[in-house]
Amino acid sequence: MILGTEYKAYAKINLGLDILYRREDGLHEVDMIMASLALHDSLFFKANTSGEITLEMVGFFGNIEDNLIYRAAIKMQQKFDISAGVEIKLIKRIPVAAGLAGGSSDCAVTLNALSIIWGIAASTAEKKALAVELGADVTYCLFHKMARVTGIGEKIRFISTLPKIYVVLFKPKYGISTAEAYQKVSNKKINHIDIDMLEKKLASGSYDEICAAVGNSFEQPTFAEYPDLAYLKQVLKADADVSILSGSGPTIFALTKSIDKRDKLALIGEENGFLAIKTETKR
């Protein structure tokens, strides 16, 4: 495939994640504050006249028909009655099953890109409706701006942005299914996070107060099952301004304003058997 315009699919972290309750349909209502990172996957698209949708993946292996990129393209093609097809190439950098919304971000970029490439001019409302069908984080990933996210992930309200902060991601060798993670918290007591307070601290711009207010309801049940994550968080305390679980895990992220500490934190993670990825908040 000839590469053309690069579309960037950014990773996200949860500065705050509170699990509110389980609904009658089995889904969970949440209250979250999400931020995007400079770390990204790259996607390239080339329209064709055959109607065929193809997906080439670099750095990732999996069933193409189950991939959110492919599913998004099929939904767009069917909803808007598009006769054209598309060749898609994905260069994968964001770890999978990691709580970083890599697949959701790829999916959202596909919705945005195909709206342009196929000349659909799909409205924001139409793309959001498709996003809800495809996955909980896809709606946020359509925009990749600092936001408070509620409902099951479909309600977005943009809020104050973060300054440039160095971020180190620590991914163990295993992944955690989001669906399984929610199943395990359903009948367990969890720590609730004060998302209102976190939003206020973000608006104030006080970095130290922001660090003191972050948190994730998934930590308690996840750390109980994966003690290596709890141990790493403890080890990081001496050098990180704060470290918490992202999403449903298993990735832990650490924040620091010091590039020297960023590098030291990455080494600590690697010494403990984690993949350490150095990045920063997206501006």
Active site residues: 12, 137
State whether residue 177 is helix, strand or coil: coil
Alpha helices (H) in the chain, listed in sequence order? 68-79, 102-117, 124-134, 138-141, 178-185, 195-204, 207-213, 219-225, 227-236, 259-271
Residue type, 26: G
C-alpha torsion angle, residues 234, 235, 237, 239 (rounded to 10): -170
For residue 181, the SS3 value is: helix
Quote the CA–CA distance of 144 and 10 in Å, as a whole number: 7
